[in-house]
């Protein structure tokens, strides 16, 4: 069976055992006010949960005896999802932006590309610089290296500290490298 790599990986949700799904004979019980009650039998814990009109949720099954809490299961699941959404919102996805140059690029065009790269780097994105060589230009890779060197020095002249994450690599008729802003 072929895997579909375009879909985002599914993050496994934490599985809780609730009420009759709990298999331990004795449990360490915490009530809905987060107060420690103590070690009780499973039957007593289920009775207390039903008396409070809530669920008995197994919080930590790996301890001996397992830790269970009297709480509303829907609320617990909602709070966990809310926390995951907060964490996801705080994450910054680093994108790799691409810039194409040629061996015969003019000074003004190079300045425009430098300004674009500066904007990308200020937004904490990485920049993939690709120098396209056609025809006889492929035999003169030193010209591509010179263009790349002038591009990097122009970025340095703007006051940007840049790290080259990958050394310039020649693949077919293209020379490429990835740069990122140096952390402050």
Report the pLDDT value the prediction gives residue 2, as an integer from 0 to 100: 53
Question: Long-range contacts made by residues 116-123, C-beta under 8 angstroms, separation at least 24?
Answer: 117/151, 117/155, 117/179, 118/155, 118/158, 118/160, 121/155, 121/160, 121/162, 121/179, 121/180, 121/181, 122/181
Residue 165 lies in a domain: yes
Residue 82: give the domain boundaries.
17-87
Residue 59 burial class via C-beta count within 10 angstroms: exposed 0-12, middle 13-18, buried 19 and up: middle
pLDDT tens, 125-149?
Answer: 899 999 999 988 888 889 999 999 9
Kindly report the pTM of this predicted structure. 0.53
Looking at the structure, do residues 121 and 176 belong to the same domain, yes or no? yes
Looking at the structure, do residues 43 and 115 belong to the same domain, yes or no? no
Q: CATH number of the domain at 147, please.
A: 3.30.110.10
pLDDT tens, 24-69?
Answer: 888 898 888 888 888 888 888 888 888 888 888 888 888 888 898 8
Split into its structural domains, the chain has a count of 2
- Last residue of some domain: 87, 110, 132? 87
pLDDT tens, 68-105?
Answer: 888 888 888 888 888 888 888 887 777 888 999 999 99
Residue 10 lies in a domain: no
Looking at the structure, do residues 83 and 101 belong to the same domain, yes or no? no
Contact 57, 76 (CB under 8 A): yes
């Amino acid at each position: 069976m072929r895997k579909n790599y375009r879909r985002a990986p599914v993050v496994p949700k934490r599985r809780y055992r609730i009420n009759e799904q709990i298999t331990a004979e004795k449990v360490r019980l915490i009530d809905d006010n987060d107060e420690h009650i103590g070690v009780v039998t499973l039957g007593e814990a289920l009775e207390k949960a039903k008396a409070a009109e809530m669920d008995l949720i197994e919080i930590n099954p790996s301890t001996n005896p397992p830790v269970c809490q009297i709480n509303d299961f829907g609320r617990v699941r909602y709070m966990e999802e809310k926390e995951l959404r907060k964490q996801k919102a705080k994450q910054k996805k680093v994108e790799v932006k691409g810039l194409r140059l040629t061996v015969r690029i003019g000074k003004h065009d190079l300045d425009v590309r430098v300004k674009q790269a500066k904007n990308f780097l200020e937004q904490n994105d990485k920049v993939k610089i690709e120098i396209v060589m056609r025809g006889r230009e492929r035999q003169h890779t030193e010209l591509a290296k010179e263009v790349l060197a002038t591009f990097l020095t122009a970025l340095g002249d703007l006051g940007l500290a840049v790290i080259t994450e990958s050394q310039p690599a020649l693949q077919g008729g293209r020379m490429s490298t990835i740069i990122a802003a140096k952390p402050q």
